Amino acid sequence: MNSTGNASAASFSRIKVRTGALVFCGDDVALIRRDRAGSVHYTPPGGNVEDGEDFRQALARELAEELDLDIDQADGGDLLWVVDQRVTRPGPTPPPRKLHLIYRLHITPGVRAGLAEQELDELPDGSHEVGVIEWVDYRTTAGLPLFPPIGPALAALPNPRATVGDAALDAVTDKNYTWL
């Protein structure tokens, strides 16, 4: 973990939106595990909304790219949570403020059997980082290094289809998160 200090005045002056999905098959949820030197972390499949896309288009594109999932093969699609990220990160570019829109989908075991087992994330130098698709019992996610840090809220759901009262989870800031 890196401690990067206080954000400059330019930090968080840009806003990006990331759509992601908790894709459930029964009690299991698909997460992408990324193994890096000195750390392992998980993310829900998804990515940044591109110019001209609406949120559903971005979600469909990202799930097709990362899981080989046709969103029309899934039930649901409701917005589960919104996470406001204002975390200083390593690097020369001022960090953007990012809104994570976390949707919830449900698939059958038959659909799950046809999905990807790994995801290739293109890096700025043109190489790729391999992410492993893991199916994890959602009730065990509280202790995972999951970003955005939705593990405790996810593990607290009484069941994968449970209604949530407030879609806004606590903001992720330098005071409560250290960038991995």
What are the domain boundaries of the chain? 15-156+167-173
pLDDT in tens, the chain (180 residues): 334 444 444 566 678 899 999 999 999 999 999 988 888 999 999 999 999 999 999 999 999 999 999 999 999 999 999 999 888 777 666 677 889 999 999 999 999 999 999 998 877 888 888 999 999 999 999 999 999 999 999 999 999 999 999 999 999 888 888 776
Whether pTM > 0.85 for this model: the answer is yes
Thinking of the domain 15-156+167-173, which architecture would CATH place it in? Alpha-Beta Complex (3.90)
**Which among 6, 4, 22 is positioned nearest to 162, based on CA atoms?**
22
Q: What is the pLDDT of residue 60?
A: 97
Q: What is the pLDDT of residue 22?
A: 98
Q: Which residues of 111-140 are buried (b: 16+ CB within 10 A; e: fewer)?
A: bbeebbeebeeeeeeeeeeebebebbebee
Q: What is the pLDDT of residue 162?
A: 97
